[in-house]
Structure formats: structure tokens, C-alpha cells
């Protein structure tokens, strides 16, 4: 027997593959020999092999079979099984094993004998040190703990089984009769779950971090349950213990507290019922409107769509903000960073974008990370006032929540977004903000004793955000064509975009909208710096009408900034320079926009055309916004076909352009008078 075969057998044993799973797999391969031939065929795609494994084989052995396929070693499987049985037989007998039996009614001699024989067989023990303990909370039956393994044969455990199965089924039923039928079936047909549960004990606890000993097979990201009922997630796997983050308060937990493996990855309930609701990072409602009926359960961590599963960005995600839609357009499936100092209007841009999605079939998710509870309440109030909560979900993890909740909040929000995306829907998700998210992760990492790097952040902080933002994409038509558009927010210090976290997120995203403190304080809002802002998708995410007329805006603004700095020296200016300065001033003024008043794209076309074609060059700068509103009212009254046509066709046709020119000239005469 080769060393390779022995190594694979040891790996099978390490993965805790049961004898029953090995037996079922061997029998299946004997009945269907073609499966082995297919698995050994190198021309068959690995993805197809993995799919076949998921469909045919027991859960406990799937990972090992996929490993064999990945390493083109499936032909060794019969030898590995033989070596595996040898390894099991070679396990040293435990001379004496401590066994704790909890009961309501003490076990009879016969029951005690059967329990001992069961434990000896399962744990390879010669002698058992059995202690009995009464526990009325079990309602009936027994709970057996042998070393770090636990077998729950109690009535309480049985009821929990039924409850869990009911939760899985109730979402699919429509009447009380169906619920009763399911309940009867579960009571009549189900047996006690005799599978073992791995149990450990708390060795250290503090600041939302728990070290656990005794759980040897936990996965990264797996949920563990403490005896107080609070849950945690595995974040650190060491040689002899694991480190977990708590999803709740530490109250009642102490050194020695019992911890049980769940075998499940951290996830969140999802469904249409969450629309219009405010939830925490675990998917629990916090708006006082009652429970939410979920339709599915998705892990918070998911692989990003592959390259072949994506489609290029080509459909606009209109923000309703003239400066963005004209110069830095955002497309569905794009990731556009909003970056700037504190109190420069970053959240305002995100909220305006959400409000602008009314009636466009876009589902919006706002993720608040480390925000004040009062700030989140204000945002919810604003969205409600503008009827935006009907198609929105707010995921809130406030500054008072543990760092663990702030850490998982954006992943939970993305899992919710993926549910809708895979239904073929378009989703807009706002992360407010990822600076606080990175700080929360840094706190967790330092408490887990990971080595700090630049600015005390751990070495994987780039991966922290890349694996989050890469999940935003536009799916191919084959997968339904849904999309997630991400608007992450980053807060800078004194305008320093070269800091660690800002540079990381800038490199991951498809562009950034930079907000300038000086512009904001001078009253220019939204305070978007056209020189530093960029969209790497560009014109692909613009309608034809905007693309046709908006090109000169950035050029003329750049010329204005350059000429304005020279004109300060007081030298005489020629007529051409004066005209460029005047035009730049009017473009700047046009880009001003009040909060919570997104501008429909058809009206953006109208005002951009009027300004870029210099119809307002002779109008005072301080009257530009009055001119804009007056022009819209005039066209709505006398020429409503112009905006209607632009909205419908997405183009500015020759006939429409003539009509628009006539409308602008006609209104201008009345406005100047």
C-alpha cells in the first residue's frame, strides 16, 4: 500500500467520514461502475463531476470525493477505503472515558447497559467512568456526553428537531391544515437524531471574543451555540483551540461554559417580506413591526460570480443627480465608491439615489455600519417620507452593537441582495460606511491576536473588502440577468485619499465620486470634485441623449478651473477667455442641486442642452437655477411631448432637438423680460 493511499485514508479520517457513508458510497459505485469511469476521465469537466457528487453521494463524504476528483486520484478509492478501515482499526483504545448522563427519570439497568455499549463502540473505549445527573429541563429521555462529543436523546432535543423542520417547511405552506399535516408527519415518522454533536468549553472570554477548546472539526465561518443561547461564529482556527466572535452579549458566559457545533455556516433569512423593514445583521426585525416571514436562507459569505457568469455593464443606474449622471455615470452591476471627509454629503448622495429608484423596479438595500442609532432613524424617516421604503431594506448595525455585528452587516446585506439578484431583479446596495467596517474588523483581529500591519490593520484587510464588493455584478442572461450595484462609502481624514483603506477600496471599485470639504462649506452642493471623480464604465452606462450632449461639460469645467486660477493675477482678459470663464461659472451653477430632489433623466437632457449650447451665457449666474426650474415648468405646460419622447426613446432626435431649441428660445424671451 503506497504512502499516497495512506495519506488519503488519513485525510478521510480527518474529515470525520463515517463508516456508514463509506459503505453507502462503495455500494453505489459497485452498482453503477460507469460513475467511477466518468470520475477517472480527465476530459470531463470538474464542475460536472462535483455536480454529480452533490446529487448522488452522502453529505459526509462529498468533500473527500471532490478532493479525489480535483487531484485525479479517484482510481485509488478502493485502496483508500481499505487503508481507511485499517486506520480505524489501529485507533488506540481509550483506557477510561468520562461519560456524563443527564436524565429526568434515572435509566434502568438495561438502559444503562445499552448506553455503555453504544459509547464503547463509538468512542473505542475499554472502560467508562459514568456519572448520572438529574436535569428536569430535558422533559424526558437522556443527554449523553462522552469526552467532547454529545448525543441528545432527550424530549427537549426531539421538540427542537421538530421545530427546526417546521421552520424549513412552513414557508412553503399556505394553510393551517397543511401545517398540522406536516406536524403530524414529523411526530409520527421522525426518530431521535442519534448523531453525535461536538461539544467544547470556553477557555477565555472578553470584548466579544471567545476561545473554545474541545471542538476539533469546526469550519471557518461556522456557527457555534453557547449554553446561554447566544450564537458565535468561528473566526480563528488554531492547533488546540478555536477563536469565535459573539453575535450578542457576553452575559452569563464564563470560563468552562458549554459550546455546541451547529455544522452550519453563518447565514441570514431572506425573502420579499423583508421589503420595507429595518433589520439587524442577523436578519432579525428591529423596527417593532413584528416577525418577518422568510422564504429562504442564504449564507452571508458567498463566492462572487465567475467571469463567464457576468455580463458587461450597459444599463444606467440613474442617480437623479445631474453632476453624476452627466459626468460619472453609474451602470447596473457597477461598484462606484463615494469618498470624502466627514460631513460632506456622502450619505445624502446615496439616499438621493435610492429615492430616485422609485418606479424603476430596483430594490434598494441600505447597510448602516457603526452609525448612530439616531442617524439611522433619520434615514428611515426620510425614505418613508419619500415612499422609498416600499422597495427598500435597511440593515442596521449601530455604533452600540458589538464589533462582530458591524463586521458581518455588509455581508448579510449582500446575501439579501443576492437573493433578489438570482430572481432576475436589479438591486442597489449602499455600504455606509466601509471605513467603520474596517475598524470593526481590525478590533476583532487584534483581539484574536493576529499580527497587525499597516495602520494596525491585519494583513487580509484588502481581502475583507474585495470578497465583499466582487459579489456585486450583472449576471448573464443565462442566469436571469439580475444585478447588484454597489455604492460603498469611505470616510477620509483631511482629504487624504492615499490612506490605507481608501486606496484599497479605490483599487477594487469601478470609479469614485470624490466630495470636497471646501466646496461643501462654500455652499456648492453636491460638493463633487469633477477633477478627482471618475467612472471607469463611462458612456456605457449613459442613455444616448446624455452621451450626445454631456461630453463638453468636463472639458469646459477643467478649462474654467485653470483660467480662474490665472485670472486672479488681475491681468486683462481677452473676449474668448471671458466667455470661457462665464460658461464655466454657469455650468458649475447648473450642477448645484438640492437634497432629496433627484432630477429625472429627461429633464437633465433639457438643462444640459440649454447650458452647453450657451443659451444661458447672457443670464446672470445667480439666476441660473431659477431659469432651470422655470424652463421645466414651461416645457411641461407647452411642450410636454419633448420630455416624454426623451424618456421613451432615450434619444434626442432631430425633431425633438428642433422643438427643444424653439422652447428654450421662447421661454428665454419671457424670462429676460
Residue 569's pLDDT band, with cuts at 50, 70 and 90, is low
Residue 505, Cβ density class (10 Å: 0-12 exposed, 13-18 middle, ≥19 buried) = buried
Most confident of 43-57, 83-97, 100-114, 276-290: 276-290
Per-residue model confidence (pLDDT) at position 44: 86
C-alpha distances in angstroms, 68 versus 40, 76, 211, 366, 441?
9, 8, 33, 43, 36
Measured from the Cβ of residue 619, the count of other Cβ atoms closer than 10 Å reads 18
Concatenated DSSP letters for 206-244?
ETTEEEEES--SPPTTEEEEETTS-EEEEEEE-SS-EEE
**Active site annotation includes 156:** no
Residue 184 has pLDDT above 60, yes or no: no
SS3 percent helix, strand, coil of the chain, rounded to 5, is 50, 20, 35
- Confirm if 400 and 336 have CB atoms less than 8 A apart: no
Backbone angles phi, psi at 452, to 5 degrees: -80, 150
Measured from the Cβ of residue 336, the count of other Cβ atoms closer than 10 Å reads 29
- Confirm if 577 and 637 have CB atoms less than 8 A apart: no
Peptide bond into 526 cis (omega under 30): yes
How much of the chain, in percent, has pLDDT values that exceed 70? 92
Average pLDDT of the residues of the chain: 87
Per-residue burial over 454-463, b if 16 or more Cβ lie within 10 Å, else e, is eeebbeebbe
| Closest-CA residue to 536 (of 336, 359, 315, 272) | 336
Per-residue model confidence (pLDDT) at position 190: 43
Cα–Cα distance, 89 to 83 (Å, whole number)? 10
Most confident of 167-176, 192-201, 260-269, 507-516: 507-516
Stretch 17-43: mean pLDDT, rounded? 85
Q: 176-190, 260-274, 587-601: lowest mean pLDDT where?
A: 176-190
- Confirm if 156 and 165 have CB atoms less than 8 A apart: no
- 402 alpha-carbon distance from chain centroid: 18
| Closest-CA residue to 65 (of 32, 123, 30, 21) | 21
Calculate ∠ Cα 227-233-237, nearest 5°: 110
Cα–Cα distance, 429 to 425 (Å, whole number)? 13
pLDDT in tens, 149-181: 778 777 777 776 666 665 555 444 555 555 555
Concatenated DSSP letters for 255-310?
TT-EEEEEEEE-EEEE-GGGTT-EE-TTS-B-SSS-----SEEEESS-PPPPGGGB
- Run of H or E including 364: strand 362-369
- Confirm if 36 and 43 have CB atoms less than 8 A apart: no
Residue 322 has pLDDT above 70, yes or no: yes
Residue 570's pLDDT band, with cuts at 50, 70 and 90, is low
- 268 alpha-carbon distance from chain centroid: 10
Cα–Cα distance, 479 to 481 (Å, whole number)? 6
Torsion angle in degrees (nearest 10) through CA of 496, 502, 504, 507: -90
The residue from 258, 310, 467, 536 that is catalytic is 536
394: helix, strand or coil: strand
| Closest-CA residue to 484 (of 546, 431, 544, 433) | 431
pLDDT in tens, 194-241: 556 788 899 999 888 999 998 888 888 999 999 888 999 999 998 889
3-state secondary structure 146-214: ECCEEEEEEHHHHHHHHHHHHHHHHCCCCCHHHHHHHHHHHHHHCCCCCCCEEEEEEEEEECCEEEEEC
Residue 530 has pLDDT above 60, yes or no: yes
| Closest-CA residue to 256 (of 197, 205, 216) | 205
Contacts of 202 (CB under 8 A, 6+ apart): 210, 211, 212, 226, 253, 254, 255, 256, 257, 259
| Closest-CA residue to 53 (of 29, 75, 72) | 29
Mutual angle of helices 33-40 and 46-56, in 10-degree steps: 150
Q: Per this entry, what is the length of the chain? A: 673
Q: 355-359, 521-525, 537-541: lowest mean pLDDT where?
A: 537-541
Per-residue model confidence (pLDDT) at position 189: 43
Cα–Cα distance, 486 to 528 (Å, whole number)? 19
Amino acid at each position: 500500500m503506497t504512502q499516497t493511499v495512506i495519506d488519503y485514508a488519513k485525510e478521510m479520517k480527518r474529515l470525520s467520514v463515517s463508516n456508514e457513508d463509506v459503505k453507502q458510497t462503495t455500494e453505489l459505485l459497485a452498482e453503477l461502475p460507469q460513475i467511477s469511469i466518468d470520475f477517472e476521465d480527465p476530459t470531463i469537466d470538474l464542475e460536472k463531476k462535483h455536480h454529480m457528487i452533490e446529487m448522488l453521494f452522502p453529505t459526509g463524504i462529498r468533500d473527500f470525493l471532490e478532493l479525489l476528483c480535483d487531484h485525479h486520484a479517484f482510481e485509488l478509492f478502493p485502496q483508500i477505503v481499505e487503508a481507511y478501515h485499517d486506520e480505524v482499526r489501529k485507533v488506540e483504545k481509550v483506557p477510561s472515558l468520562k461519560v456524563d448522563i443527564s436524565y429526568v427519570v434515572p435509566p434502568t439497568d438495561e438502559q444503562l447497559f445499552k448506553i455503555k455499549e453504544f459509547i464503547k463502540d463509538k468512542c473505542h473505549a475499554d472502560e467508562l467512568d459514568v456519572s448520572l445527573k438529574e436535569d428536569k429541563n430535558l422533559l424526558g429521555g437522556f443527554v449523553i456526553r462522552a469526552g467532547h462529543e454529545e448525543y441528545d436523546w432527550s424530549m427537549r432535543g426531539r421538540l427542537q428537531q421538530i421545530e427546526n423542520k417546521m421552520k424549513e417547511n412552513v414557508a412553503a405552506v399556505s394553510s393551517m391544515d397543511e401545517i398540522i399535516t406536516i406536524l403530524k408527519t414529523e411526530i409520527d415518522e421522525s426518530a431521535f437524531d442519534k448523531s453525535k454533536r461536538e461539544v467544547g468549553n470556553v477557555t477565555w472570554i472578553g470584548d466579544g471574543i471567545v476561545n473554545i477548546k474541545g471542538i476539533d472539526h469546526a469550519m471557518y465561518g461556522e456557527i457555534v451555540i453557547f449554553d446561554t443561547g447566544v450564537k458565535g461564529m468561528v473566526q480563528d482556527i488554531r492547533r488546540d483551540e478555536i477563536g469565535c466572535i459573539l453575535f450578542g452579549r457576553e452575559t452569563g458566559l464564563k470560563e468552562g461554559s458549554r459550546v455546541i457545533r451547529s455544522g452550519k455556516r453563518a447565514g441570514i433569512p431572506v425573502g420579499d417580506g423583508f421589503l420595507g423593514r429595518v433589520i439587524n445583521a442577523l436578519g432579525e426585525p428591529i423596527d417593532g413591526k413584528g416577525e418577518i416571514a422568510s422564504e429562504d436562507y442564504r449564507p452571508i459569505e458567498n463566492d462572487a460570480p465567475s467571469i463567464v457568469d457576468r455580463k458587461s455593464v450597459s444599463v444606467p443606474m440613474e442617480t437623479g443627480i445631474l453632476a453624476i449622471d452627466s459626468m460619472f455615470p453609474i451602470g447596473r452591476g457597477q461598484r462606484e465608491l463615494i469618498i470624502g471627509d466627514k460631513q460632506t454629503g456622502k450619505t445624502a448622495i446615496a439616499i438621493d439615489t435610492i429615492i430616485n429608484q422609485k418606479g424603476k423596479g430596483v430594490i434598494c438595500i441600505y447597510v448602516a455600519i457603526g452609525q448612530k442609532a439616531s442617524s439611522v432613524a433619520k434615514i428611515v424617516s426620510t425614505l418613508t417620507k419619500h415612499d422609498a421604503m416600499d422597495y427598500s431594506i435597511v440593515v442596521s448595525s449601530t455604533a452600540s452593537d458589538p464589533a462582530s455585528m458591524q463586521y458581518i452587516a455588509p455581508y448579510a446585506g449582500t446575501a439579501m441582495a443576492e437573493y433578489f439578484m438570482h430572481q432576475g431583479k436589479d438591486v442597489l446596495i449602499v455600504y455606509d460606511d466601509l471605513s467603520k467596517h474596517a475598524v470593526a474588523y481590525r478590533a476583532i483581529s487584534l483581539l484574536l491576536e493576529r499580527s497587525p500591519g499597516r495602520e494596525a490593520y491585519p494583513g487580509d484587510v484588502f481581502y475583507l473588502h474585495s470578497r465583499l464588493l466582487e459579489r456585486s455584478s450583472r449576471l448573464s442572461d443565462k442566469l436571469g440577468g439580475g444585478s447588484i450595484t454597489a455604492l460603498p462609502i469611505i470616510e477620509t481624514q483631511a482629504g487624504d485619499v492615499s490612506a490605507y483603506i481608501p486606496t484599497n477600496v479605490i483599487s477594487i471599485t469601478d470609479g469614485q465620486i470624490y466630495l470636497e470639504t471646501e466646496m461643501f462649506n462654500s455652499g456648492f452642493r453636491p460638493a463633487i470634485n469633477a477633477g478627482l471623480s471618475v467612472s471607469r464604465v463611462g458612456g456605457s452606462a449613459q442613455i444616448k441623449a446624455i452621451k450626445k450632449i454631456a461630453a463638453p461639460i468636463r472639458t469646459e469645467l477643467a478649462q474654467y478651473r485653470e483660467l480662474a486660477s490665472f485670472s486672479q493675477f488681475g491681468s486683462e482678459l481677452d473676449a474668448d477667455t471671458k466667455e470661457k470663464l462665464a460658461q464655466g461659472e454657469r455650468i458649475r451653477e447648473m450642477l448645484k442641486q438640492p437634497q432629496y430632489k433627484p432630477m429625472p433623466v429627461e429633464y437633465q437632457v433639457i438643462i444640459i442642452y440649454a447650458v452647453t449650447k450657451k443659451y444661458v451665457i447672457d443670464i446672470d449666474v445667480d439666476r441660473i437655477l431659477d431659469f432651470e426650474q422655470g424652463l421645466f415648468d414651461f416645457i411641461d405646460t407647452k411642450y410636454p411631448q419633448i420630455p416624454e419622447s426623451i424618456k421613451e426613446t432615450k434619444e434626442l432626435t432631430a425633431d425633438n432637438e428642433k422643438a427643444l431649441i424653439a422652447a428654450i428660445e421662447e421661454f428665454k424671451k419671457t424670462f429676460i423680460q
